[in-house]
Amino acid sequence: MQIYEIKRGDTLWLVARRFGMTVAQVANANGFSQSSQLVVGQALVIPTPEHVYVVQPGDTLGDIALRLHTSVTDLAQYNALVDPNQISAGQVLQVPQLPKPEIETNAYLTDFGNLGQSVTADVGWLLTYLSPFSYHVTAQGGLVPLTSSGVLSAASQRRIAPLLVITNWLGQMFSSDVAHVVLNSETIQATLVENILTTLRNLGYRGLNVDFEYVYPQDREAYNRFLERLVQPLHTAGYTLSTALAPKVSADEKGLLYEAHDYPVHGRLTDFVVLMTYEWGWAGGPPWAIAPINKVRQVLDYAVTAIPKGKILMGVPVYGRDWTLPFQPGNIAHTFSPHAAVVQATTYQAEIQYHPVYQAPYYHYQDAQGQVHEVWFEDARSIQAKCDVVRDYHLRGMSYWELPSTFPENWAVLWHNFHLHKVR
């Protein structure tokens, strides 16, 4: 696989011809039809033969070596290049066969009908865990159930380990009060633990994922004690324990989202954690990249000092957002898939830019009513940047928020970079 950025004058036929592919191969790899229009700045995945790289205009051997996690010397020797500075566009280079790291992947799923089952079947071979979102914990220790039997069946067929996700969700948001009641009552917790174990046994889940958010800061120790209470019965019964953590950059970061999430304790007690390294560009805030890579690295710089690297799944968004300009507090951005973001850019012929610091694509357009919009989303380049981070920090793997999402390029980039570990 290679990633190619569309230039002015490119057509799907010209791109396919440049790489020795058919139009159908390129279109299928990117999830669109052979008649689809392209837009300047769009990133395509090109399904080139494995261990082959086709030189593009402007490439240097140093750039290629960095991109492919090898060295200029190895590339030059492998291809018998007399002068490493003399390569030309269209030249086919053989790439040394380097071992790919093995990682685990998780995806949170929010559709349990035909679409959710179809997506699980389609991409399940690249998932270690699937996390149907979510069972809501009640203030009495009960669990509001999901109708997810079809999804669990599809997961089983793809050897995916499903995780039971519990949250302090109430109505349309996370409830600090529900978490407070549960975390401060041993009686309620006893009921909750029994309900968790019963659900795990009856439905075939392989582990528990606790996603308690906006927990009151004063309940930090109570949350830690609750996790301690879960570990022994879960492990005795053969289940894993994991948690979802807010993206902190220091132990004493202030704010309702952060303070009750004790990284060292979660790192010690759980089998793994999901770092929610996304939502900088949140729907109710001003336009910004969803997961700017510089901010993601700041979170990881702290996280790896508090949690073993081999226990960290880095959160990866698989969506985009469209903000109306000028931004006004109270306006909510429209959330859609990366594929829909590209289709919209094509409709308005909006040239896609790529931010060098945030490592994320974005564009502006004017709608039919004359209103200006700003869009940030994910593409093959931004996913490659996140794969590079997982490699650089030697993490356990990646966790996607959320499926279903129309984003075939993600799975091509993932497979290009890693071997995927299955636990069942």
Q: Which of 288, 266, 262, 255 is nearest to 357 (CA)?
A: 288
Q: Which of 405, 416, 418, 396 is nearest to 106 (CA)?
A: 396
CA distance 217 to 261: 9
Tokens standing for residue 424: 């069942």
CA distance 25 to 51: 18
Residue type, 95: V
Tokens standing for residue 179: 């978490």
For 383, counting Cβ atoms within 10 Å of its Cβ (0-12 exposed, 13-18 middle, 19+ buried), the class is: buried
Q: 5, 186, 213, 253: which one is catalytic?
A: 213
Report the SS3 class of residue 53: strand
Q: How far is CA 159 from the centre of its chain?
A: 20
Cβ atoms within 10 Å of 385's Cβ, excluding its own: 18
What is the sign of the dihedral through the CA atoms of 96, 101, 104 and 106? Answer: negative
Q: Is 213 tagged catalytic?
A: yes
Cα angle: 415, vertex 421, 422; to 5 degrees: 120
Q: Is 204 left (phi over 0), alpha (psi -120 to 50) or beta?
A: left
Residue type, 296: V
Residue-wise DSSP of 258-289: TTT--HHHHHHHSSEEEE----SS-TTS-S--
C-beta separation of 207 from 236 below 8 A: no
Q: Which of 310, 401, 399 is nearest to 127 (CA)?
A: 399
CA distance 67 to 172: 43
Report the SS3 class of residue 350: coil
Which residues carry out catalysis?
A: 213
